[in-house]
Chains A and B, each alone.
Chain A
């Protein structure tokens, strides 16, 4: 079964509004979660690393004020796309790091965001 759950799977929002995507680790605690964005026919682009209890680390070129990340607990990270625009329409995927012999990272199911 899934070890990382993401919600919602699909969301349509109006331009200028904000939308929140949740990422939950199931049956394990994830001190680190990652947020990716994937445009059609392109690879996954890491947006930010979410650390429980501290500020997220954003990749170069990703606006931290537009993509708000909160990792308030060891099982939940949220990504809020603020003042969404049509160019923000994409597939957003979270992942969680299962620490152990060699890091293993599992992905959530992904969230399709369409901004109209």
Chain B
């Protein structure tokens, strides 16, 4: 079992819709969780971090964490074509950041 799992996609949503990205992790002791956005050929950019169960909102982005289910999600409201990118879920495990393989999001006009 991979430590951090994501559906590779692509996830296609129309402009203005809500995009829902999911991630599961295997280490129940993990404490810090992150979502990064990566455009093709570029370095990952931090979007959200979440440490406690529940929801955390920042603008159009909402991260959700459920430690009992070992599940992290990212919701993007009012999706824009500029949101089209690969979204990486990352879990801080002991002393390093473990990444999922990423979900490619396509927002079409």
Contact = CB atoms under 8 A, between A and B. Distances in A.
Interface stretch (A40-48, A69-77, A79-87): A40-48
B17 interface: no
Interface in A80-116: 91, 93, 95, 101-110, 112
A34 interface: yes
A106 B46 contact: yes
Contact of A105 (B34, B42, B102): B34
Interface of B: 31-32, 34, 36, 41-46, 49, 51, 88, 90, 92, 95-102
Contacts of B98: 46
A49 interface: yes
Given A109-B43, A110-B42, A95 B32 contact: no
Interface of A: 6, 32, 34, 42-44, 46, 49, 91, 93, 95, 101-110, 112
A101 B49 CA distance: 11
A-B interface, 5 closest residue pairs, ranked by CB to CB distance from nearest = A110-B43, A43-B101, A107-B43, A102-B51, A44-B99
A108 B96 contact: no
16 contacts: A32-B95, A34-B97, A42-B101, A43-B101, A44-B44, A46-B98, A46-B99, A93-B44, A102-B32, A102-B49, A103-B92, A104-B49, A105-B34, A105-B90, A105-B97, A107-B44
